[in-house]
Structure 1
Amino acid sequence: MQLKTIFIALYALFTFSPSLVFCQDSGLNRNNGNFKGTTIYLTAVEREAVLSEMRGFVESTAGIVKGLSGENMEMVTASARKSGRGAGAHMPRTLHKKLPASFKKLGSDTHRRFDELALDAEQLGDVGHALSQLGALLDNCVSCHLSFRIRER
């Protein structure tokens, strides 16, 4: 019963509070003078591409949580694959030079973790294992949002 409560809370967070995750004015992204991370300056098009990718991560995570809560590993697999390594193919080429290596490394690891989750969900069908993988994946999201700010120049 406690596991189902966790799923419901995660689903509610990502479904009803998307601005928490990728809105520049959210509490996670507010620069209140205490921010010690890196500010990345991008064009409007580049910034939107990065934010769009993050929205994709949130959509995939919501699908994974829904799938896990219903023990529907096919949904988990399909949702995770949407944000795997192939998801970044649409990114503007100009980003490669502008993004810090640590940002790119974290992004690449996040895509890899989505792919791993998809593969394991498909092959193992273990809800607990997938939930553990999702937790580690979300640690990447939190780390990124605490470490970086994306501003338009």
Structure 2
Amino acid sequence: MLALSLISTMPIIFNYSIHMAFGQELEMEADFIRQENEFLYDDVVYDMVTFNFTTNDNRICPSNTCTYTFEDGQLSPDLISGEYAVDGTLNVDVNRTSEPTTYDVRIDLKINDMLGGANRTANVNGGTIGIGGNALFDPIYKYQVINGTLDFGESTLLYLRATKTQ
């Protein structure tokens, strides 16, 4: 009787985890400008100047009417892997009713092709977004980048779409 009861609950648990894993997404757009620093001339770092963020993940925004700001956002190349990373702090304000919730963020981007010329464009074909906790190694929320673009021109534009994995 116990084994029969356990088997009958398996589909409910399975359906719930599938819904949670593939139903929550986020989109992000950001504009960066190259940091001018005479001491870091060899290091290419871009500072975030504008930021747009949307998500249907109710763990980050329970009311689905939140305001998002990003502080200390920087885009930089990873000299070891040749890829790019974004670091900073995400502030989530729920209806301006209390103090915003603050999360450390780490975005690792996998670049597919870089088209040459004055305005270089890269296709982002993978990567991860870690939000909260130790965002790099053990984030509270983790997303898999589905697709995106990284455009290097007068300003550097990043667009990402991702789905929840954790």
Q: TM-score range by the shorter chain?
A: under 0.3
The structure whose RCO (Cα within 8 Å, separation 6+) is larger is 1
> In proportion to residue count, which structure has more helix?
1
TM-score of the pair, normalised by structure 2: 0.24
